[in-house]
Amino acid sequence: MLILGGTSDLASRLLLPGLGRLLTEQPDRRIRLIGSGRQDWDDEQWTDTVREAFDIVEATGPAVDHALDDTRYLSADVSAPEDLEKLFEASTGIPALYVALPPAVTAEAVEALKEVELPDGTVLAMEKPFGTDRQNAAELNAMLARLLPEEQVFRVDHFLGTSTVLNVLGLRFTNRLFEPLWNRDHISHVEIVYDEELGLEGRAGYYDGTGAMVDMLQSHLMQVMALVTMETPPDRGGQRAASREIPGRPVGPAVG
């Protein structure tokens, strides 16, 4: 797993703890984690960051230990094809490239990837915000289509992956008490409120270029509103496939 933007707040606060939880639940899994960013970190500083993120979710077990022992950090300019090639050379197996970068930098990274010979089966995960407007997002999609098959590209919104948000669909469409009442005849208005307790947390540069409106409103809260107000999906087959139908766990929606 290669993380572009590995030194970001998103990676340390959400992405890495999520990975730690996954490795705890799947102790037989083996993954080589490679972080990358503009900062001139060394492997020790990166490993400490990963360990602190894993500690947030109390991640333990052989898969966690292996990831900590084998993780590396490589400073890279994501707009430079030669730097991206070094990241892939350091990887083993089929790489999953997680792009946790601002929209403008993401476009530069995708453009640079066109000059790189990607290993067979490479998976690309794109973190939101995806583009800066509708036209820009369409252009970015066109670039991705020339880079990898669609089934190897995932557009991810970490906010929509939280259990509270995922449960909205179950509450709306499978709960026999709420489903018949969830309509305009019984609901006068909807308020979607998200009180973030964090400050900038080192994200000043990101917010200066992107803005809280793009980061929170159109990327997260409006999509939550869509889950709350949309019509019943005609087909949930794709959602079942994406959920992998974990035994004992209700089928949830595909995210990304």
Active site residues: 220
CA dist 183 and 20 (Å) reads: 39
User: Across the beta sheet with 34-37, what order do the strands follow?
Assistant: 72-75, 34-37, 2-4, 96-99, 123-127, 153-156
CA dist 154 and 255 (Å) reads: 9
CA dist 151 and 123 (Å) reads: 9
Distance of CA 31 to the CA centre of its chain: 17
**Could you give the 3-state DSSP secondary structure of residue 132?**
coil
CA dist 150 and 153 (Å) reads: 5
